[in-house]
Amino acid sequence: MSRFAESQDDLFRRLNASISFDRRLAPYDLAQSRAHVRMLAAVGVIPGEDRDELLRGLDAVERELDDGSFRFLDEDEDIHMAIERRVTELIGPVGGRLHTARSRNDQVATDVALYVRDHALAAAEGVRELMASLLSLAERHLDWPMPGYTHLQRAQPVYVSHHLLAYFWMFDRDAARLEGAWRAADRLPLGAGALAGVNFPVDRRQVAHELGFSAVVENSLDAVSNRDFVLDYLSAAAICATHLSRLGAEIVLWSSDEFGFCEVTDAFASGSSIMPQKKNPDAAELLRAKAPRIAAHLLALHGVLHGLPLAYSKDLQEDKEHLFDAADTLELCLEASAGMLEGLRFDPQRLADAASDQFLGATDVADLLVRRGVPFRQAHGIVAGLVRDALERGKALSELDEADLASHSDLLDAEYYEVLRPDRWLESKQSEGGTSLERVREQLEQARGRL
Amino acid sequence: MSRFAESQDDLFRRLNASISFDRRLAPYDLAQSRAHVRMLAAVGVIPGEDRDELLRGLDAVERELDDGSFRFLDEDEDIHMAIERRVTELIGPVGGRLHTARSRNDQVATDVALYVRDHALAAAEGVRELMASLLSLAERHLDWPMPGYTHLQRAQPVYVSHHLLAYFWMFDRDAARLEGAWRAADRLPLGAGALAGVNFPVDRRQVAHELGFSAVVENSLDAVSNRDFVLDYLSAAAICATHLSRLGAEIVLWSSDEFGFCEVTDAFASGSSIMPQKKNPDAAELLRAKAPRIAAHLLALHGVLHGLPLAYSKDLQEDKEHLFDAADTLELCLEASAGMLEGLRFDPQRLADAASDQFLGATDVADLLVRRGVPFRQAHGIVAGLVRDALERGKALSELDEADLASHSDLLDAEYYEVLRPDRWLESKQSEGGTSLERVREQLEQARGRL
Amino acid sequence: MSRFAESQDDLFRRLNASISFDRRLAPYDLAQSRAHVRMLAAVGVIPGEDRDELLRGLDAVERELDDGSFRFLDEDEDIHMAIERRVTELIGPVGGRLHTARSRNDQVATDVALYVRDHALAAAEGVRELMASLLSLAERHLDWPMPGYTHLQRAQPVYVSHHLLAYFWMFDRDAARLEGAWRAADRLPLGAGALAGVNFPVDRRQVAHELGFSAVVENSLDAVSNRDFVLDYLSAAAICATHLSRLGAEIVLWSSDEFGFCEVTDAFASGSSIMPQKKNPDAAELLRAKAPRIAAHLLALHGVLHGLPLAYSKDLQEDKEHLFDAADTLELCLEASAGMLEGLRFDPQRLADAASDQFLGATDVADLLVRRGVPFRQAHGIVAGLVRDALERGKALSELDEADLASHSDLLDAEYYEVLRPDRWLESKQSEGGTSLERVREQLEQARGRL
Amino acid sequence: MSRFAESQDDLFRRLNASISFDRRLAPYDLAQSRAHVRMLAAVGVIPGEDRDELLRGLDAVERELDDGSFRFLDEDEDIHMAIERRVTELIGPVGGRLHTARSRNDQVATDVALYVRDHALAAAEGVRELMASLLSLAERHLDWPMPGYTHLQRAQPVYVSHHLLAYFWMFDRDAARLEGAWRAADRLPLGAGALAGVNFPVDRRQVAHELGFSAVVENSLDAVSNRDFVLDYLSAAAICATHLSRLGAEIVLWSSDEFGFCEVTDAFASGSSIMPQKKNPDAAELLRAKAPRIAAHLLALHGVLHGLPLAYSKDLQEDKEHLFDAADTLELCLEASAGMLEGLRFDPQRLADAASDQFLGATDVADLLVRRGVPFRQAHGIVAGLVRDALERGKALSELDEADLASHSDLLDAEYYEVLRPDRWLESKQSEGGTSLERVREQLEQARGRL
């Protein structure tokens, strides 16, 4: 940029240069340069021989990047300049034509959009694989009872399959959201130039088509100042990470000695540097711990964009590290969680014991009264009295005798004891989406249909 | 909840009760209760006369809420309990049947989903109105030149219409995003009971249909522990608010004495308590300042959900205040911004003067050289030299004479001066989405098509 | 503000007016107005009789605010204007002298600083009361063993007192942090005028002294644009809330049927609308859920201040709601948590059973080997082998016989069995700050000293 | 960790290993290991010859790390294990004694505390250097008038020195805050073992003394689960970054063609890839853009700690990357901002022209009326009328003639014109902390005293 008399201060270079992280955009930058060059030739802005030379240069750069022989120089401020610099070294001054009818502003927006599209799909794919793991785990534990919790208090029993499928549907929404982020980023920024359009009769639609975009951004200022597609990706990623944190937290809980519901495989656990007996579910803990990181990246980008005047400002360079780390983190977490789930072993006895806590049937007793004509609110009160009675006397509900029952309601007869049979509480939840086996089988069917 | 021997501590009540804010859910709670009651009768869980009584009670409660005569009591922990309590007062014990086959867990999820759906559409509508204001403003300033900026430095001139349309497309994405949030919340939670389904043969699809949902949540645990629809709404709202903050910030900037590009109407400005001359663009400042608030609400809900075990936990009560304040804030900001834009007056002279800064034509000079065969990178260097030359000598680019030009390149001739005619730089941006009048007219056409 | 020809748009008023929330600043506004008026008279800017009239008016307004008879009008944009308006109604045009040598910019900064100081101390006081509850609870459970956890896996036993004291020290840091926030807000903004100082020979130090500030803000622009004191308060509040969330989460965990370590009193629990047996630790859950809310307020204010040019901008009005809600939330949570702790009942049997898991002594066995000359890393390996052996054979460590031991190390003799006596593992942790009784007694002594 | 039968899954290793980032803790880990080893020998846990061997090993490892010859292996999960592994390779099995009476839990807390202390001081030092740059810049522009702004509208003139000093005081608070974060991290975690203390008679105070801590953490559970010191550092860093963002934003604004108040030196600017004339204040933009990043790191750590049960959980590993990136970012921003300020050139003419806008004197005219007995509120109204009059007639205030004045108030005479002399408005702000030269000189004196 030779209008400057002075060279860059080293501090400035360190603050300003993005090459240390934006080199990851190289494949996207090469793809867009190829499409750009072909289009420039197609519309006659550059001759065919220049196109061929440029493509040759780009191919050579790609090989160097792939085999690690590409040498980045100190003055390579960003990946775009590094590539153009090297192309020019390789093919001579014609390399200077690469930047015809293009600015770094529309160029970088295009690279980032391509990155987002790729990684939105990669994450969606990771989510689908995790869903497959969950589905398979659910199928293998179809009729294993476990307590369902509200407020982390045992509430009503459910099947392990049913509990696992709750996550299946969360992740199903994530996959849709990530695919939606991919779809939302379907307009090509390139051709907007610095901000106002370019002075050449470019064919943006041709470039869009070659790069897989369905259309072009309608407004050149918007094209260079917009990072909605990154926000969309990060919004979707943050929700997915929050779901993973819930899954991780439950596995940590279930792996505790007190719950004892499951054990992660050694391959996804670690020991202690001091306590030889320890086996820690580190992977599950990290799933929990990574969610705030991704949410923070989202928030940081909102912060960067806050109050930012149009069109391009350097602040937008702060989109990339947030995006890259979020994508790396999410993709790794998805893969690791699928791996961890595959090796998870549930303990049927601990689960069954916990699920047979008779208080879990209290709602069923209340509903028995409802079926006999008592309004639910009163029925609830009657059973609450029974529960208090049982607790105070240290008894299970089924240990109350008929006289005890009669003191609470004259509608409680032998069916009361029938209702308190553990298997009843599970199978009575016949409503659509409920935990009875028939309904869970329906769900499994639906779930298979989604994959 | 009579299993308790002790009454609630007042501190606990203050921490726990949600009635001070969840009373806003009343219309949704009434609507779902009506649908629930009709369904219970349709499937035979309650008799037709009970249904009629319950509907009569709900109608009466609605009237009391509407005319302000509804009396909330201290023991009304939440709106659901308040309504059921009042219905029972009005129609007697049959009111206790209202909660048959329902838990507060699925009830509140349903209310919140209905709220989100309503307010996602309301916000989308607000966005569309703002888009109409922007479009109308753009049409009225179709061919008014102004500088386009990058890095807040004048870069290339654009038309005011083109700049305003950049916002049009941002908000167009917002409207789509908000409508997407509406669509994503299309599954009914009700019927999930506490977490496991209910003991009655309910017809969830009938309720879904009556309430406008297209389907039912597939899994009962997910139904009561899921708040994705709130996250979806807040994610969309936060992006929209960030867009508004950019619009607000630009109007603040343009309203400064130094820019002087526009003036907000008195009706959207305020004065100073001490400085009699002041006219401050407060509305624009507040648009800027509200974005972090909405983003913070989103983040807070991510925080609440972080690591939360299934199914319902009390933590989920923290969804509502974040949601309500975000919706209130966004809807007010959208309305106010449309109002503010309508009264905005641009100053054609200040805009035109700023847009005629000759350095804005530098890219066009470079592109002239490109058309004469110089690779762009070299052309850029030549013009940078011209710029430095002009700056050092305190001259405009057009004040350099032919000898000056020749010292930089032998390809610069009379067309150089032609290229520096201000109107040229605007009209040369002929690429699709560029700022030339023809292209802006295309955009206006597209924009009209979106409304 | 009569330079305006047009009146405010209703939408603008709704967006702009702060009276709905800043009325909480009334006591601070009255206090500063009194100090301001006395100073103005002291330095001769207003005569003594005007001072007396103004003080009379301010007293009357205070009474009206206190007894609820103060009538806010639609045109009262904020509390400052409302008070001045009412003073003027009550005492006539001399009320117009109240705003001499003052701007709303320095006035509001002063009110908010006074609010922060008050509430930083109030929160510190709340923290101290919570510390007293924790200390008392620790004293009552001095020698009750329980498992200590890492990774939510039982690791080494500790006394309940020791575990509770860990929170004592967290909150001790919080109290110091909150008091530090109070101390940091010790400079008076008033006297800065709109931004540049005022035209009158005011004595800012007199006002500072009367209002309890130790000095005046050094720079008038900083005085009106600074909100560091709010950030300081919110930073401290967020950390305290994060501590409360950890305490809440542990109580939720310990209250589960699986842990069964403690039970909250009925007065801090709630039941279920559907499940009559439920007793939920709602207060503990809400302690957990409120932390993200306060952290979000902090973040929102950072967002508001991000990139904001000097001096005052309307954006700063967004400090108040974040601050007020954070203070309300934190103070309530502190009070409620102290209340909840006071009624908490631990179950000695469940705790002791969990603490006697023999694997908790594994480190002690390794350290026995260390005392016999084995480097720790090898000792760790030997004991890990023993643990695997025991697990595979379904035995406790003490059930391994001498031949078993000999197969792992020839240094394990009868002392091995001695080391595995449960009480040993607790009392062997003799290092300063460790869980042995002597050390815990030292801690209790230190803790008493802090209160 | 040989109790495991299975080796770690590669995905788990990638998720779990921290060596890629925690290697930065090496100097702190070495320092603590030396102190630990000396103490172990001093209290007789290891013999003197083992201490000497271990210190020799640690020295050798340090040299390898310093000269880059240290080879990290795939199984080096973290820096602590890598160092111990290498020490053992170098000195044999005695290396296994390094971990005697220590766990990674207290070890890593100690390393991170040492890192925080170092970097809190480094940042404070960076802040002091920036303050020195600001002071020097203020001294060089002592009496250069410029407009002061509220709402980004010209409000009252100030001296450039006065404006710059506003930042001086912000950063002065930052330095105090960072030093406070250093002081707050003055307790040694080491000696807490895994969570409960250790089985050896360690002397924690000796280690504390050697490492520069003033005391030891009082409670072993708190020692390993606490990350308050990181939150304290990040809270301070976020506020400092927010201040930098305001400074950056103002320089961006002032560098615009419209303001034209200053120009950054070429060494801190960059050009455009397409527009040869551009000179962009990238460094200032990046100062603005980095604040959300640091605030996000703070928030992420709050998220990680949210609801985390005691004592150590793997989640705590997520403290480091947030901390390291925040420290790197803040330190670089501080250095770069000092560098940028040093080369900043103000344009006296543009500043003076902007500062002489006569409306800036309106408050002074109102105060003239106050001095003549008019209550301020009325005076404000009268001058607002004058302003409207002048605006409507396109005149400056001083162009209103005596008849005009008389129509607004009979108290406006020749002194009116006197008051409107530009230099008057600056020098009339004689209140402490105001912009009059005498007051600014006082401030400069105070500021020099702080450095």
DSSP assignment of A276-336: TT--B-HHHHHHHHHHHHHHHHHHHHHHHHTTPPSS--GGGGGHHHHHHHHHHHHHHHHHH
pLDDT in tens, C140-153: 999 999 999 999 99
Task: Provide, as residue numbers in chain A, all residues whose Cβ is less than 8 Å from the Cβ of C380.
Answer: 273-274, 276
**Is the Cβ pair D153, B257 closer than 8 Å?**
yes
**Is the Cβ pair C3, B315 closer than 8 Å?**
no
Closest-CA distance of chain C to residue A280, Å:
6
**Is the Cβ pair C93, D242 closer than 8 Å?**
no
Of B188, B216, B227, B189, nearest in space to B313 by CA: B227
Measured CA to CA, the distance from residue A219 to residue B442 in angstroms comes to: 10
Place of tokens 């028939």: A438
Q: Which residue of C has its CA nearest to D371?
A: C45
pLDDT-based confidence at residue C2 (cuts at 50, 70, 90): low
Token pair in block for residue D392: 């409507």
Task: Provide, as residue numbers in chain B, all residues whose Cβ is less than 8 Å from the Cβ of D149.
Answer: 256
Per DSSP, C6 falls in state S
> What number of C-beta contacts closer than 8 Å exist between A and D?
222
Task: Provide, as residue numbers in chain C, all residues whose Cβ is less than 8 Å from the Cβ of B105.
Answer: 273-274
Q: Which residue of A has its CA nearest to B218?
A: A433
Token pair in block for residue C92: 């006539």
pLDDT of residue A2: 56
Task: Provide, as residue numbers in chain D, all residues whose Cβ is less than 8 Å from the Cβ of B256.
Answer: 149, 152-154, 258
Residue D408 near residue D389, CB atoms below 8 Å:
yes
Question: Which residues does D10 contact at the CB level (< 8 Å), separation at least 6?
Answer: none
**Is the Cβ pair C194, B275 closer than 8 Å?**
yes
pLDDT of residue D329: 97
**Is the Cβ pair D231, C221 closer than 8 Å?**
no
pLDDT of residue C285: 96
Residue D193 near residue D102, CB atoms below 8 Å:
yes
Residue C107 has pLDDT above 50, yes or no: yes
pLDDT of residue D9: 87
**Is the Cβ pair A293, D300 closer than 8 Å?**
yes
Residue B73: how many other CB atoms lie within 10 Å: 11
Measured CA to CA, the distance from residue C365 to residue C385 in angstroms comes to: 12
* Mutation target vs C (from D178, D244, D302; most C CBs, 10 A cutoff): D302
At D9 the three-state DSSP class reads coil
**Is the Cβ pair D276, B362 closer than 8 Å?**
yes
The catalytic site residues of A sit at 151, 272
Closest-CA distance of chain C to residue B102, Å:
7
Closest-CA distance of chain D to residue C380, Å:
8
Chains interfacing with B (3 or more CB pairs < 8 Å): A, C, D
Measured CA to CA, the distance from residue C186 to residue D145 in angstroms comes to: 30
Residue B3 has pLDDT above 90, yes or no: no
Of B160, B416, A107, nearest in space to D274 by CA: A107
CA angle D68, D69, D71 (to 5 degrees): 110
Task: Provide, as residue numbers in chain B, all residues whose Cβ is less than 8 Å from the Cβ of D269.
Answer: none
The catalytic site residues of C sit at 151, 272
Residue A189 near residue A106, CB atoms below 8 Å:
yes
Residue D208: how many other CB atoms lie within 10 Å: 24
Measured CA to CA, the distance from residue B316 to residue B430 in angstroms comes to: 53
Task: Provide, as residue numbers in chain A, all residues whose Cβ is less than 8 Å from the Cβ of D199.
Answer: none
**Is the Cβ pair A228, B239 closer than 8 Å?**
yes
Task: Provide, as residue numbers in chain B, all residues whose Cβ is less than 8 Å from the Cβ of C268.
Answer: 8-9, 12
Q: Which residue of C has its CA nearest to A351?
A: C258
pLDDT in tens, B36-52: 999 999 999 999 999 99
pLDDT tens digits in sequence order for chain A, 451 residues long: 457 778 888 888 888 888 989 999 999 999 999 999 999 999 999 999 999 999 999 999 999 999 999 999 988 989 999 999 999 999 999 999 999 999 999 999 999 999 999 999 999 999 999 999 999 999 999 999 999 999 999 999 999 999 999 999 999 999 999 999 999 999 999 999 999 999 999 999 999 999 999 999 999 999 999 999 999 999 999 999 999 999 999 999 999 999 999 999 998 988 887 777 888 999 999 999 999 999 999 999 999 999 999 999 999 999 999 999 999 999 999 999 999 999 999 999 999 999 988 888 888 899 999 999 998 889 999 998 998 888 889 888 999 999 999 999 999 988 999 988 877 889 999 999 999 999 999 999 999 999 9
pLDDT of residue C1: 43
* Mutation target vs D (from B149, B150, B152; most D CBs, 10 A cutoff): B152
Closest-CA distance of chain B to residue A202, Å:
6
pLDDT of residue D1: 43
**Is the Cβ pair D199, C430 closer than 8 Å?**
yes
Closest-CA distance of chain B to residue C17, Å:
10
Greatest Cα pair distance, chain D, in angstroms, is 101
CA dihedral (C389, C395, C396, C402) positive or negative? negative
Q: Which of B151, B273, B306, B431 is catalytic?
A: B151
Measured CA to CA, the distance from residue B306 to residue B367 in angstroms comes to: 54
Of D9, D13, D3, nearest in space to A267 by CA: D9
CA angle D40, D44, D46 (to 5 degrees): 60
**Is the Cβ pair C148, D2 closer than 8 Å?**
no
Token pair in block for residue C80: 């400052």
| Phi and psi at residue D188, to the nearest 5° | -75, 125
Report which secondary-structure segment, H or E, holds D159: strand D153-159
Measured CA to CA, the distance from residue A344 to residue B214 in angstroms comes to: 36
Task: Provide, as residue numbers in chain B, all residues whose Cβ is less than 8 Å from the Cβ of D306.
Answer: 303, 306-307
pLDDT in tens, B382-422: 999 998 888 889 898 999 999 999 999 999 988 999 988 87
What's the average model confidence in pLDDT over B293-304? Answer: 98
Residue C373: how many other CB atoms lie within 10 Å: 10
* Mutation target vs C (from A258, A299, A370, A420; most C CBs, 10 A cutoff): A258
Alpha helices in A255-281 (DSSP H): none
Q: Which residue of D has its CA nearest to B304?
A: D306
**Is the Cβ pair A154, C257 closer than 8 Å?**
yes
Token pair in block for residue D125: 């030092």
pLDDT of residue D2: 55
* Mutation target vs D (from C199, C206, C372; most D CBs, 10 A cutoff): C199
Higher pLDDT, C59 or A375: C59
Nearest CB partner across the interface for A376, out of B97, B384, B434? B97
Radius of gyration for chain C, computed over Cα atoms and rounded to the nearest angstrom: 30
**CA separation, residue C217 to residues C208, C368, D138, D169 (Å):** 10, 62, 18, 9
Q: Which residue of C has its CA nearest to A292?
A: C292
Chains interfacing with D (3 or more CB pairs < 8 Å): A, B, C
For helices A228-254 and A319-342, give the axis angle rounded to 10 degrees: 30
Residue B280 has pLDDT above 50, yes or no: yes
Q: Look up the pTM and report it.
A: 0.97
**Is the Cβ pair B304, C317 closer than 8 Å?**
no
pLDDT-based confidence at residue B1 (cuts at 50, 70, 90): very low
A184-188, A319-323, B313-317, C17-21 — which is least confidently predicted?
Answer: C17-21
Task: Provide, as residue numbers in chain C, all residues whose Cβ is less than 8 Å from the Cβ of A272.
Answer: 150, 155
Task: Provide, as residue numbers in chain D, all residues whose Cβ is less than 8 Å from the Cβ of A323.
Answer: none
pLDDT of residue A1: 43
Residue A164 near residue A137, CB atoms below 8 Å:
yes
Of A372, A366, A356, nearest in space to A426 by CA: A356
Token pair in block for residue C338: 């102290």
Closest-CA distance of chain A to residue C296, Å:
10
Residue B427 has pLDDT above 50, yes or no: yes
**Is the Cβ pair C275, A154 closer than 8 Å?**
no
Mean pLDDT across chain B, nearest whole number? 94
> What number of C-beta contacts closer than 8 Å exist between B and D?
130
ipTM score for this prediction: 0.96
Nearest CB partner across the interface for A217, out of B94, B433, B436? B433
The catalytic site residues of D sit at 151, 272
Q: Are strands C187-188 and C153-159 parallel, antiparallel or unpaired?
A: unpaired
**Is the Cβ pair C275, A386 closer than 8 Å?**
no
Of C245, C240, C238, nearest in space to C300 by CA: C238
Alpha helices in D306-318 (DSSP H): none
Measured CA to CA, the distance from residue B355 to residue D268 in angstroms comes to: 26
**What percent of chain B clears pLDDT 70, i.e. is strictly above it?**
99
Counting as low any pLDDT under 50, the low residues of chain D are 1
Token pair in block for residue B301: 């809900």
Residue C17 has pLDDT above 90, yes or no: no
Residue C78 near residue C19, CB atoms below 8 Å:
yes
* Residues pairing with C280 in the sheet: C270
Per DSSP, B270 falls in state B
**Is the Cβ pair C273, B104 closer than 8 Å?**
yes
pLDDT of residue B218: 97
Active site residue B272: yes
CA B446 and chain centroid, separation: 22
| Exposure of B438 in the CB half-sphere (CA atoms within 13 A) | 7
Task: Provide, as residue numbers in chain B, all residues whose Cβ is less than 8 Å from the Cβ of C282.
Answer: 12, 15-16, 314
Chains interfacing with A (3 or more CB pairs < 8 Å): B, C, D
Residue A117 near residue A124, CB atoms below 8 Å:
no
**Is the Cβ pair B318, C290 closer than 8 Å?**
yes
